[in-house]
Amino acid sequence: MNTRVSIQDVAQLAGVAVSTVSRVLNGYRDVSEETRAKVQRAVEQLGYRPNQAARTFRTGKTQSVSVILPMIGTDFYNRLINGIDQVLALHDYDAGLFPLLSPRRLERYRNPSAPPYNADGLILASLNPDRLFEGGQIPADLPTVLVDIAHTAYDSVTVDHIEGGYLAGKHLLERPAPTFVVMIEERFDTPFASGVFRERLKGFQRALEEDSVKLPKDHVITVEFSWDGGRLAAQEILRRLEGPANIFATCDLLAQGLIDEFAHKGIKVGGEVRLVGYDDQPWAEAYGLSTVKQPIESMGGLAANLLLKRIKRPPAEVIHRVLSPRLVVRESSRV
């Protein structure tokens, strides 16, 4: 009963031309207050709502951008989406979310007519086009920005994980002690493998090198991305040493496992055993976990801004923006 009401009906009731109604609806300023009021009254009276399809058809703009990402519901992606949403809202844009939940979905997104490409622009989060699509070619040709991953052919916004690792390293070095890194094994065969953990390790090593501190190969403990992985790492470390230690967990989830397992063995983290995580998960503060915090919202916001710009007028060159993380010091790394 609503779709039947068109701009024509509004014009008629308001006693003006359709173009005038259109102008009011789109917030043009060259309309007298009087007509504007008349039109708005008619709109409300009829319960008129613009036909979005007609608008899109006419303008060729959907006022929406698609975000393809591995999943939704983690702290990282929630924050990222919030950052994107916030900027888009300022420009009357919306974000359509397309998580790669199943292989079937990925398959469908290979089709250039798939819903994600039915938008004015595309944000690819944590996803490498080279791994996702044949030839690294995104099926549809529309303005694209990558987030959390870099690529020569596309605009990107990333966080400098090398710097993040470096910050953790410098901080732990304040009190020398046997040092361990707990790593995640990144498989190469998934579309999600972005190499961030290796970068974090690299930065950490760089910090140590600057101070001529050696990190023995077997002090890099590789486990699964899980709480249990952290616990296993803690056991491994305890097997190898007693007394002070510096530990860098390449993500907070691992750090949590470490803390819990240490607590279990009656060891409180912070003091003798110092620990720095990565991500600043929501619970990190309550855990007293020192950690590297990424500017995730900013990353999303920047990506959205870049994309909107590219939608307006495709710029000449590819743009890469790299953001700096910062270290949040809490109990777990106090001396």
Partner DNA sequence: TTGAAAGCGCTAACAG
Partner DNA sequence: CTGTTAGCGCTTTCAA
- Which residue ranges make up the site for a copy of itself (CB under 8 A)? 1-3, 49-54, 56-57, 60, 62, 64, 71-74, 78, 81-82, 85-86, 89, 94, 96-99, 101-102, 104-105, 108, 112-115, 118, 140-141
Residue with smaller CB distance to a copy of itself, 53 or 316: 53
Q: Does 298 bind DNA (CB under 7 A)?
A: no
Rounded to whole angstroms, the maximal C-alpha distance in the chain is: 86
Closer CB to a copy of itself, 12 or 56, in the complex: 56
Of the pair 67, 208, the CB lying nearest a copy of itself is at: 67
Residue 219 interface partner, choices DNA, a copy of itself, none, CB cut-off 5-8 Å depending on type: none
Provide the mask over 23-42, with x wherever binding to DNA is found by CB under 7 A and - wherever it is not: x-xx--xxxx-xxx------
How near is the Cβ of 27 to DNA at its closest, in Å? 10
Residue 92 makes contact with DNA by CB under 7 A: no
Q: What is the distance between the alpha carbons of residues 134 and 141, in angstroms, rounded to a whole number?
A: 14
Nearer to a copy of itself, 55 or 320 (CB): 55
Check residue 19 for interaction with DNA (CB under 7 A).
yes
User: Residue 224, Cβ neighbours under 10 Å: how many?
Assistant: 12
Task: Based on the shown chain and the rule CB under 7 A, indicate whether residue 100 belongs to the binding site for DNA.
Answer: no
Which does residue 101 bind out of DNA, a copy of itself, none, counting CB within 5 to 8 angstroms by kind? Answer: a copy of itself
Judged by beta carbon distances under 5 to 8 A according to partner kind, the member of DNA, a copy of itself, none in contact with residue 12 is none
Q: How far is the CB of 53 from DNA (least distance, A)?
A: 8
Q: How far is the CB of 50 from DNA (least distance, A)?
A: 4
Footprint (CB under 7 A) of DNA, residues 47-86: 50-51, 54-55, 57-59
Full 3-state SS string of the chain:
CCCCCCHHHHHHHHCCCHHHHHHHHCCCCCCCHHHHHHHHHHHHHHCCCCCHHHHHHHHCCCCEEEEEECCCCCHHHHHHHHHHHHHHHHCCCEEEEEECCCHHHHHHCCCCCCHHHCCCEEEEECCCHHHHCHHHCCCCCCCEEEECCCCCCCEEEEECHHHHHHHHHHHHHCCCCCEEEEEECCCCCCCCCCCHHHHHHHHHHHHHHHCCCCCCHHHEEEECCCHHHHHHHHHHHHHHCCCCEEEEECCHHHHHHHHHHHHHCCCCCCCCEEEEEECCCCCHHHHCCEEEECCHHHHHHHHHHHHHHHHHCCCCCCCEEEECCEEECCHHHCC
Residue 293 binds which entry of DNA, a copy of itself, none, CB below 5-8 Å type-dependent: none
Per rule CB under 7 A, is residue 223 in the interface with DNA?
Answer: no
Q: Does 311 help bind DNA (rule: CB under 7 A)?
A: no
Q: Which residues bind DNA (CB under 7 A)?
A: 3-4, 6-8, 15-23, 25-26, 29-32, 34-36, 50-51, 54-55, 57-59
